[in-house]
Amino acid sequence: MKCRRHERANCSIPDCRFDRIDDTLALILHKLTHIERNEYIMSQELDALTQAVADDTSVDQSAITLINGLAAKIDAAKNDPAALTALSAQLKQNSSALAAAVAANTPAAPDTPPAT
C-alpha cells in the first residue's frame, strides 16, 4: 500500500502509518455498518414470519374447532331431517360469511424486497 503523502510503498514515517490505520478502520466501520443493516432487515423479516406462523396456527385451530363442532352437530341431527335441513341452511349462511371474511382479510402478495 502506498503512502498518500510520499507516494512510497511501505512508508515508515509514523504519520503515514496512522493514515493506513485510519483507512483500515474506515473500511472496517463501513463493513460493520453493512452487516448491522442486513441484521436489521433479517430481524424485521423474522418478526413478520413469526407473526405469520402465529396467525396461521390461530386459523388452523379455528378450522379444527369448526370441523369438530360441525361433526358433533351432524351426529346430533342425523336422525332428525328437519334439524339436518336447518344445519344445512346454517352452513350455507356461514360459508358465505366465511368466504367474505377470508377475501377481506387476505393480504396482498408482498412486494419483492429491493436488491442490496
Report if residue 62 sits inside a domain: yes
Domain-embedded: residue 7: no
Does the residue 78 lie in any domain? yes
Determine the Cα–Cα distance for residues 25 and 31; give it in Å rounded to an integer. Answer: 10
Per-residue confidence (pLDDT) for residue 36, from 0 to 100: 96
- Give the pLDDT band of residue 8 (cuts 50, 70, 90): low
Q: Does 78 score more than 70 pLDDT? A: yes
Nearest to 2 by CA among 16, 15, 14: 16
The mean pLDDT of 7-21, rounded to a whole number, is: 68
The answer as to whether 3 is a domain residue is no
At residue 77, the pLDDT reads 81
Range of the domain at 60: 14-104
Q: Cβ contacts of residue 60 below 8 Å, gap of 6+?
A: none
As to burial, measured by CB atoms within 10 angstroms (0-12 exposed, 13-18 middle, 19+ buried), residue 87 is middle
- How many domains are contained in the chain? 1
Look at residue 111 and tell me if it is in a domain: no
Residues 16-72: tens digit of each pLDDT: 667 778 888 999 999 999 999 999 999 999 999 888 888 888 877 887 787 778 778
Q: What is the pLDDT of residue 33?
A: 96
Q: Which residues contact 73 (CB under 8 A, 6 or more apart)?
A: 87
Q: What is the pLDDT of residue 55?
A: 82
In a domain, 28, yes or no: yes
Domain-located, residue 109:
no
Domain annotation covers residue 116? no
